[in-house]
Amino acid sequence: MTSIIEQCLALYGSDDYFVHYPSRVVLDEYWDDKRDPDGRLRDLSTERELRKADLAYIAEAVNARPAGRVVDVGCGLGELLEQIDPAHDRIGIDPSQRAVELAAERSGARTVRGVLARDSFADGSCDTIIAHHVIEHIEDPVDFVQTVANALRPGGLFIVGTPNFASAAARLFGERYRLLHDPTHVSLFTDDSLMRLLRASGFRVVSVDYPFFGTRFATNEAWERMLRPQEGVSPAFWGSFVTVFAEKEQ
């Protein structure tokens, strides 16, 4: 039987954009305490400053653009919204009630409980839409990207980040690739397939980032674990996560 990672690698040369991986769990409130792939119990609400540092590069890109409507889809507890200049019209969307309440309190931005839908915004009414750690949780990501395209004005920016299932860690560790272990990841992309989807949906890829160097994840332990792919789950490593910055075609 072909493994899920092999199915993802087969996206190269394919007309498909993602591999559907049926959900293995249903969560009522995903911000409750949970364990990471290494088995450590985490309380995400206590990781505010760490998560803000993880997202700073996205905030810098947004703040370099003229003030406009910025929508953070899957805004979580607001660590990104906090860092976006209030000169922007900042809106956070998240299905978690706890998340939208805390994000509004911390950032001062408007927040809405729910998901991005076709009727969430008028066509062409948004300047920037961010979906960080979101698209892999969506059953129909092609429709999601088209919904983003409709909401953005021509020249508007879409920032989308997702696990890269063609990364070195995915290839070396296979089924023990750490970002395969989240049971709510249902749509699996490679960096190439994500960019193909964006281009097919009317976007121009401006830049691509693989956040690792200069982050808290770039440790000696991560390098050492990559040399022992027969042991445990993969570490967070360069290329394991891709962030694409794309502008809607004029």
CA 129-135-137 angle, to 5 degrees, is 135
* Helix, coil or strand: residue 152: strand
Would the pLDDT of 249 be above 90? yes
Does the pLDDT at position 39 exceed 70? Answer: no
Domain residue limits, the chain: 44-248
Sole residue written with tokens 């997202």:
55
Q: Are 58 and 80 in contact (CB under 8 A)?
A: yes
pLDDT at 235 over 70: yes
Considering only CA atoms, give the Rg of the chain.
18
| 68, pLDDT greater than 80 | yes
- Superfamily designation of domain 44-248: Vaccinia Virus protein VP39 (3.40.50.150)
Burial 93-120 (b: 16+ CB within 10 A, else e): bbebebbbebbbeebebebeeebbeeeb
Residue range 42-53: average pLDDT?
Answer: 82
106 pLDDT band, cuts 50/70/90, is: very high
What is the structure's pLDDT at 145? 98
Q: What pLDDT was estimated at residue 156?
A: 98
Q: What does the pLDDT read at residue 53? A: 96
Q: What percent of the chain has pLDDT over 90?
A: 86
The mean per-residue pLDDT over the stretch 22-45 comes to 63
Tens digit of pLDDT for each residue in 152-201? Answer: 999 999 999 999 999 999 999 999 999 998 888 999 999 999 999 999 99
The answer, as to whether pTM is greater than 0.75, is yes
Per-residue pLDDT at 27 exceeds 70: no
- Cα 55 to Cα 31, 64, 113, 176, 216: the distances in Å are 18, 15, 21, 26, 12
Mean of the per-residue pLDDT values for the chain? 93
Torsion on CA atoms 66, 69, 74, 75, rounded to nearest 10: 70
Asked if pLDDT for residue 224 goes beyond 90, the answer is: yes
